[in-house]
Amino acid sequence: MVKMPLRVGISKLTQCGDIILERLNSAPDAVENGGLKKILEDSGCIVVESKTTELTEEEANQYGAWNRLGLASRHLADIVVDQVRRGMFTIGLLPACDGLMGMLAGYQRSGPNAKPRRVGLIWLDAHGDINTPETTPSGLLAGMPVAIAAGLCLERLRVKCGLEVAIPTKYIKMVGVRDVDSLEQEIISMSDIEHITSDDIRELSPVITQQMERLAKITDIIYVHVDIDVLDPKELTGLGLPVEGGPTVAQLGAAFEVMFQNPKVGGLGIASYPVGRDPDRIALNAMYDLIKYAIRGVSARGS
């Protein structure tokens, strides 16, 4: 039986929730325009479409960066819903990790009927990003998306993003997380979140397959979210918040092949490209390599 080429849809969010991070709003375009389509096609994919969220004139004039992020995220969710229902593997290009809610909302609403799908989240990041307004030392929304998605804070923003039902923490796996604030650690410790460590990634531990299978049993679809700072900062340039101890691109790529072979994995989101701080394309090429490893894993399903 001849395998059909993987049909890919690109979904881009160009709105950050933090004014201090607005320089990253051009990052999704930079990632796409740097050669992403050719990389996907060379990997045997058909790029069906690329869509970018657009605020209406009325929405763009509304007050508040968080509010505009919520509006844009709902548009992102609409793009993801349409692409998933049309049989595409969605790749989300996000300025920062606060694009998480829109991606999750899209997968949650992508089922054949009005019933919300149970969405699993694989969270790859050096940081937990599960702070709340009460625990955050920085005040940045980009440090709260996992908490928002899990229903731990900012319910109105979550719903505005289109994520009507919060994601239970038992549906969340953190990968490579190694820089967590003390109050943030309390939240994680009281949750059902399970972990795949950087050592697990480096050793290509059986824990990776075990955790993927465990999550697949209790969810309908799995979304993999990557902040580029999950990687070893020695391999990258321009990171805003580098944290030592991460896996190399090759190590994480091998783990990606394992993760993406799971048939429940329906898409990939990649965030925080350091646009303007990567003159030699080192971080950009690392992102492209991770995408290639993911496609390789999807393509190996059933082989």
Per-residue pLDDT reduced to its tens digit, 140-150: 999 999 999 99
Contact 146, 188 (CB under 8 A): no
Exposure string of 256-286, with b = 16+ CB inside 10 Å and e = fewer, is bbbbbbbeebbbbbbbbbbbeebeeeebbbb
- pLDDT value at 114 more than 90: no
pTM, rounded to two decimals: 0.97
- Domains, the chain, in order of start with CATH, read 6-299 (3.40.800.10)
In this prediction, residue 8 has a pLDDT band, given cuts at 50, 70 and 90, of very high
pLDDT (0 to 100) of residue 109: 97
| CA angle in degrees (0–180, nearest 5) for 71-265-13 | 25
Q: What is the pLDDT of residues 30-73, one digit of tens each?
A: 999 999 999 999 999 999 999 999 999 999 999 999 999 999 99
